[in-house]
A and B are shown apart, each in its own frame.
Chain A
Amino acid sequence: MLNLLYKEFKLSIHPFFLLFPFLIGALMLIPQWIFTLVPLYFCFVSIPNLFSSYKAFNDLSFLAMLPVSKSDIVKARIGAVVGLELLHILLAAIFALLNRAIYHNPNNFALDLNPAFFGLVFVIYGVFNLIMLPMFFKTGYSFGVPLIISITAATLLGLGMELLIIFNSSLRYLMEESGNGIQALLLILGMGLFTLSIFETYILSIRRFESVDV
């Protein structure tokens, strides 16, 4: 599994996608913005490029040659995607702290940058993975339809929450005014759901990939 992860970052994933979270994370410094777009750029930009590279590099043929199990292939791919997501979240969080330090005004017209916001980001990525990866592993190479459906779901969830908070005061209270304790709880809840989604993504993906003819 570790060798496959090494292969992912040495052969398959271009180093630019490790730099990309820094560039995208910096968008957190825009004052008064729709910040869920920042994590969503990973779905809009990184994922389509990564998966088209897998196809262009004929990655499946390469993997078929190696003494590796299909479950390890799935684990490594999920590991690589989750690793990049965590890097995006980490850097977005650092830039979010910078945003707070620079502007001293947490009151955004849409979602504020606080722990609850990052709880939501975890849920967005969890939903995205849960749709994208099992659908992708149905063939092991075709990513168009999985991408459209998973991006639509993640965008609806993220931007839907941004819109809802503008019009729904209860939700704004829960996400922004309920105090640090509740916000921390929402962050932990988001992380928990993200972790659960990883396991479910793996189970569904391997079930589908096992029956794929390479």
Chain B
Amino acid sequence: MELLKVQELNKSYPSFHLEDVSFSLEKGYIMGFIGMNGAGKTTTLKSILNMVHADSGYIEIMGKEFKSHELELKQDIGVMLGDMDFYVKKRVKTLTEVVKRFYTHWDDTIYATYCDRFNIDEEKRLCELSTGMRTKYALTLALSHQARLFILDEPTSGLDPAARDELLEIFQQLVEDGQKSVLFSTHITSDLEKYADFITYIHEGKIITSTTKDEFIDSYAIIKGTLPQLTDELKELMISYKKNDFGFSGLMKTNDHSHDIESDYTSERPTLEDIMIYYAKRGRTHA
């Protein structure tokens, strides 16, 4: 069952357009929503949550159209958009006391369990918590109201590698029961190598692809060769390329046509980072 379905989402700003953004997320999976800074990740997530008014598009969450069931569905969604930078001078317990009133399925026992597990000191003020602890607190709130879909905007940014890994492990544990899903945006691709099941890649407001992580990586190849081998025909086939003293390397989509090319050149499996970098390079070249 799809917990989230986004169809042909469009939003225009004077200098940026979100164009026909479509993807879906099944129950029990983690989806990494990746893209460079300014690619449209936050705008997409905010449009999903109706915080930004999309010009057109259709959002379905847990089988229901989001706009007409917004309040009911928000009861089942855990949201964290950026750093938890509101009411930072308030104590954790004061914030919790306010937040819990808004959720019909709030469970104090679950809340206490996660506070204990994440070592959240309720007497502390929010500003006294580290970035990682604030993220854990946001997750604790979401888990305590028994959210099934977690929409998190760059939850790992600003965290040290150990804290990032710990957080991603928590995501993994969240989806283990097969009932919950996590959609989180990031531009730190190493976050996704180990933990993401699906990748949705957005570039300049357009979804390049939304598929399983392995399919996504397998759909690209890095081609390397000498400079004389860098023909105009090859340049056209590549997403972008880099030249150096020893030759060139470029990213291309794997398809029937590319098999012939791959046999003539050195071919490597790219990393997620490679894919993002070559797309960014294409953006700069085309700009």
Contact = CB atoms under 8 A, between A and B. Distances in A.
A105 interface: no
A11 B46 contact: no
A58 B52 contact: no
Contacts of B82: 61
Contact of A64 (B81, B94, B101): B81
B162 interface: no
A3 B53 contact: no
B71 A3 contact: no
Contacts of B90: 11
Given A211-B53, A213-B52, A213-B53, A6 B81 contact: no
Given A66-B74, A66-B102, A214-B46, 13 more contacts: A6-B98, A6-B101, A7-B101, A10-B97, A57-B88, A59-B87, A61-B81, A64-B51, A67-B70, A67-B102, A68-B102, A213-B51, A214-B52
A10 B90 CA distance: 10
B51 A58 contact: no
A10 B98 contact: yes
B99 interface: yes
B17 to A, nearest CB: 15
B280 interface: no
B87 to A, nearest CB: 5
A206 B149 CA distance: 29
A62 B46 contact: no
B87 A11 contact: yes
Given A67-B74, A67-B75, A11 B102 contact: no
A62 B95 CA distance: 10
Contacts of A68: 71, 102
Interface residues of B, number: 27
B87 A57 contact: yes
Interface in B40-95: 46, 49, 51-53, 70-71, 74-75, 79-82, 85-90, 94-95
Given A6-B98, A64-B81, A57 B86 contact: yes
A193 to B, nearest CB: 34
B101 A3 contact: yes
Contacts of A10: 94, 97-98
28 contacts: A3-B98, A10-B97, A10-B98, A11-B87, A11-B90, A11-B94, A11-B98, A57-B86, A58-B86, A62-B86, A62-B87, A64-B49, A65-B79, A65-B80, A65-B81, A66-B74, A66-B99, A67-B70, A67-B102, A67-B103, A68-B71, A69-B70, A69-B71, A211-B53, A213-B46, A213-B51, A213-B53, A214-B46
A67 B71 contact: yes
A59 B86 CA distance: 6
Q: Which of B79, B85, B102 has the most CB of A within 10 A?
A: B102
Contacts of B97: 10
Contacts of A61: 81-82, 85-86
A139 B51 CA distance: 13
Interface of A: 3, 6-7, 10-11, 57-59, 61-62, 64-69, 211, 213-214
Nearest to B77: A67
A211 B46 CA distance: 14
A25 B286 CA distance: 67
Contacts of B74: 66-67
A57 B85 CA distance: 8
Nearest to A214: B51
A11 B70 CA distance: 24
Nearest to A59: B86
Contacts of A64: 49, 51, 79, 81
Nearest to A66: B102
A213 B88 CA distance: 23
B97 to A, nearest CB: 7
Contacts of A62: 86-87
Nearest to B95: A11
Nearest to A58: B86
Nearest to B89: A57
B105 to A, nearest CB: 11
Contacts of A59: 86-87
Contacts of A66: 74, 99, 102
A-B pairs with the 6 shortest C-beta distances? A67-B74, A62-B86, A58-B86, A214-B51, A3-B101, A213-B52
Nearest to B75: A67
A214 B53 CA distance: 9
B234 to A, nearest CB: 44
